[in-house]
Amino acid sequence: MNMPLDTIKYLGITILLAPLAGAVLAGALGPKILRGRTHWATILGVAAAFVASIMLFQTVRTAPVTARSAQVPIYEWISSASGADIAVEFLVDPLTSIMLLVVTGIALLVVIYSRDYMRHHDHPEPGYERFFAYLGLFVFSMCALVLGGNFILLYLGWEAVGLCSYLLIGFYYGKPAASAAAKKAFLVNRVGDFGFGLGIFLIYVTFGSLEYGPVFDMAARGITATGEALSSERITAIALLLFCGACGKSAQLPLHVWLPDAMEGPSPVSALIHAATMVTAGIYMIARCGAIFAVSPVAMNVVAAVGALTALFAATIALVQTDMKRILAYSTISQLGYMVLGAGVYAADSAVFHLFTHAFFKALLFLGAGSVMHAMGGIIDVRHFSGLRRLLPATFLTFVIGSLALAGFPMLSGFFSKDEIIHHALAAHPILGGMGLLTALLTAFYTFRMVFLAFFGPQRVPEGVHPHESGSWMLVPLFILSIGAIGAGYFGTGVTHKAFHHFLEPVFANTFASRNPHHAASHAAEAAHASFWADYGLMLISGTLAILGILAAYLIYVAQPWLAGLAKATWPAAHRVLWKKYYVDEAYQAGIVDPLRQSGRVCVGLDDYFIDGLVWIVTAVPRGLGYALRFVQSGLLQGYALSMVAGLAVILLWVFW
């Protein structure tokens, strides 16, 4: 028996429209009527979406394994004679339901957290209502992206979340850095989205349809719309173009530059959008389009390489940053690199699993950083405060839990998910796997460097700041997320018989799983259960690396602080390169932004002289004529009469001669 389509349809509509309604209410009634109570509109909307997501998840889970995917049409949107029929439809399957749970769940916690965060001494900040409206709009956009059943809805959701990101990063629009960061985010995403759009065009040209079902079916069978064989160049091109979009949205090399700057937005925004949901849209897209990616080995290699490189690259930069949110941003880029790497080695279910756990602990870390920022009067640079563990005990506790999960401390959620990806990577491309291991070590190190710098050491706070622990509106979400950070990993382990991966199996069965060339290599050892080393060797190594990283950070930043200065003095050049983020931003500025500005100036000059000159010449004709003939208008009656008579004489002459 198939899933009840009507139930799914109404649940889907609720998930989509409830946050939107909340956003509209917040935006329309907030400024004048609701004011300080505007958060209720968004909280209720997102809560309704969350409840509906749970119900949707239950519906999918209780359906038989073979029938867990449903394409639910809502209405016919565009239908043209030339065959471009685009409907508003949902595709509901296990992947969708998991993503929706993550999105709405984290969003609900973030919205609750924001109620206190966007206030000072219990007075709402200016723009309070706008914030909640934008948050609701974002949740709507992300759900549309995830729920969409064709590429058009995916693209629409994609762009809409980009828009909401722009609006929310530039929330403090009076601050030049914030509006510049918002512009940067939007423009860099635009570059990625351009490739993405081209990919979608190519899909339409090749497959003649934009719906997931027909497209994936044709891709899997290797044929195009006309029935000819699908050339591998074509499918590789499509996959790489789609991956462009993922690079932009999920901040992979070389389009990662917007994410650190996006930290200008409020911390809840960073937690929701730039940790848990929007940036994971790229991973979701790759997972969803498995049929396209999995048939192109070239594309998969590119994806894996980019993911591993990004992970290592970002981890090295995070080693020397001093702004807590920047460290977390680079760590997000690095973890996203892990997810992309996972997808690139045909382990998409591991990638989604890491997405799942990462959402918990990264959101936790960002909200914790927000709590610190709130207490420190807006300052988040660790050079200005330290020793906060006694001043902000609850924040400290939850922050440490999140950091342990991020670092991959054994038995916490991050440990399990990261381990799986490294396992598959080592089996497929040992070099990339090695990079993944190195990154894990660095991750543990810089995460706890941040923890020790901020929470340990002598107690000092910036001038004039009276730190106080945050209120319950902020702490309760932190606690809930801590529970997730600790326990979410167990869904993917033997305790639950790998429930998570089994749940996702039908989605990837025909795509990643079946075409995995490294399938034999990675599963042979497992199946054999040859030795303790084969089963648990990797876990041992990664656990040890995590603990080593933490101890190293402890040594350098708590036990013997002079060691940090020594490192910096010994390798000043290396430190400088890392501090300047490998000069990527400067390279973009010099290579792209400045030439564009220059050409803009050239165009302005062209416009002013050439085009305006042409126009001037055209207008010179009537002006000249007028100037020449002005003397006729003397204002004198007799002059006019003379002209009239002259005209009469000429006419008569002409007629009668």
* Cβ contact 410:444 at 8 Å: no
Per-residue string for binding with another protein, 7-36, x by CB under 8 A? Answer: ------------------------------
From the CB of residue 564, how many other CB atoms can be counted at a distance below 10 Å?
14
From the CB of residue 184, how many other CB atoms can be counted at a distance below 10 Å?
22
Nearer CB in complex with another protein: 1/636: 636
From the CB of residue 400, how many other CB atoms can be counted at a distance below 10 Å?
17
Please report, as residue ranges, which positions from 375 to 414 form the binding site for another protein (by CB under 8 A). none
Nearer CB in complex with another protein: 524/642: 642
Give the nearest distance from C-beta 609 to another protein in angstroms: 32
Q: Which stretch binds another protein (CB under 8 A): 75-83, 88-96, 560-568, 647-655?
A: 647-655
Nearer CB in complex with another protein: 622/635: 635
Give the nearest distance from C-beta 591 to another protein in angstroms: 58
The pair of three-digit structure tokens given for residue 297, joined into one six-digit string: 């080995």
* Cβ contact 206:224 at 8 Å: yes
Give the nearest distance from C-beta 617 to another protein in angstroms: 24
Whether omega for the bond prior to residue 124 falls within 30 degrees of 0, making it cis, is no
Please report, as residue ranges, which positions from 609 to 638 form the binding site for another protein (by CB under 8 A). 630, 633-638
Nearer CB in complex with another protein: 559/652: 652
Nearer CB in complex with another protein: 459/633: 633
Nearer CB in complex with another protein: 121/630: 630
Taken in order 97, 355, 89, 289, is the CA torsion positive or negative? negative
Nearer CB in complex with another protein: 567/652: 652
Give the nearest distance from C-beta 160 to another protein in angstroms: 59
Nearer CB in complex with another protein: 77/640: 640
- At which residue do the structure tokens 């028996």 appear? 1
User: In angstroms, rounded to a whole number, what is the distance separating the alpha carbons of residues 478 and 366?
Assistant: 10
CB neighbour list of residue 303: distance below 8 Å, 6 or more residues apart = 243, 286, 293, 340, 341, 343, 344
The pair of three-digit structure tokens given for residue 254, joined into one six-digit string: 């070389």
Give the nearest distance from C-beta 169 to another protein in angstroms: 58
Give the nearest distance from C-beta 622 to another protein in angstroms: 15
> Closest Cα partner for 442 from 346, 361, 330?
330
The reply on whether position 648 binds another protein by CB under 8 A is: yes
Please report, as residue ranges, which positions from 456 to 485 form the binding site for another protein (by CB under 8 A). none
Per-residue string for binding with another protein, 565-604, x by CB under 8 A? Answer: ----------------------------------------
Q: Which stretch binds another protein (CB under 8 A): 64-72, 102-110, 563-571, 641-649?
A: 641-649
Give the nearest distance from C-beta 623 to another protein in angstroms: 14
Say how many residues make up the chain.
657
Query: Which pairs with CB-CB distance under 8 Å and at least 24 residues apart come from 471-476?
Result: 471/116, 473/112, 473/113, 473/115, 473/116, 474/113, 474/116, 474/117, 474/367, 474/370, 474/371, 474/374, 475/371, 475/394, 475/395, 475/398, 476/112
Map residue 225 onto helix, strand or coil. Answer: coil
> Closest Cα partner for 99 from 160, 140, 70, 142?
142
Give the total of residues touching another protein (CB under 8 A).
18
Tell me the DSSP string of 308-346. Answer: HHHHHHHHHHHTT--BHHHHHHHHHHHHHHHHHHHHHTT
Nearer CB in complex with another protein: 611/646: 646
Nearer CB in complex with another protein: 602/644: 644
Give the nearest distance from C-beta 630 to another protein in angstroms: 6
Please, what's the largest Cα pairwise distance for the chain?
Answer: 123
Nearer CB in complex with another protein: 494/635: 635
Q: Which stretch binds another protein (CB under 8 A): 159-167, 365-373, 403-411, 642-650?
A: 642-650
Nearer CB in complex with another protein: 571/627: 627
Nearer CB in complex with another protein: 587/645: 645
Give the nearest distance from C-beta 636 to another protein in angstroms: 5
Give the nearest distance from C-beta 189 to another protein in angstroms: 59
Q: Which stretch binds another protein (CB under 8 A): 209-217, 238-246, 445-453, 644-652?
A: 644-652
The reply on whether position 509 binds another protein by CB under 8 A is: no
528, 534, 620, 652: residue in contact with another protein (rule CB under 8 A): 652
Give the nearest distance from C-beta 633 to another protein in angstroms: 6
431, 528, 596, 641: residue in contact with another protein (rule CB under 8 A): 641
**Bridge partners of 70?**
92
The reply on whether position 642 binds another protein by CB under 8 A is: yes
Burial class (CB in 10 A: 0-12, 13-18, 19+), 356: buried
State the helix-helix crossing angle for 151-169 and 176-207, rounded to 10 degrees: 170
Nearer CB in complex with another protein: 562/656: 656
User: In angstroms, rounded to a whole number, what is the distance separating the alpha carbons of residues 197 and 202?
Assistant: 9
CB neighbour list of residue 266: distance below 8 Å, 6 or more residues apart = 114, 117, 118, 131, 168, 171, 172, 370
Nearer CB in complex with another protein: 509/649: 649
Give the nearest distance from C-beta 650 to another protein in angstroms: 9
Give the nearest distance from C-beta 645 to another protein in angstroms: 6
User: In angstroms, rounded to a whole number, what is the distance separating the alpha carbons of residues 106 and 88?
Assistant: 26
Measured in whole angstroms, the distance separating CA 646 from the mean position of its chain's CA atoms is 81
Give the nearest distance from C-beta 616 to another protein in angstroms: 23
Give the nearest distance from C-beta 628 to another protein in angstroms: 14
528, 603, 625, 645: residue in contact with another protein (rule CB under 8 A): 645
* Cβ contact 409:348 at 8 Å: no
Residues found near another protein in the complex (CB under 8 A): 630, 633-639, 641-642, 645-646, 648-649, 652-653, 656-657
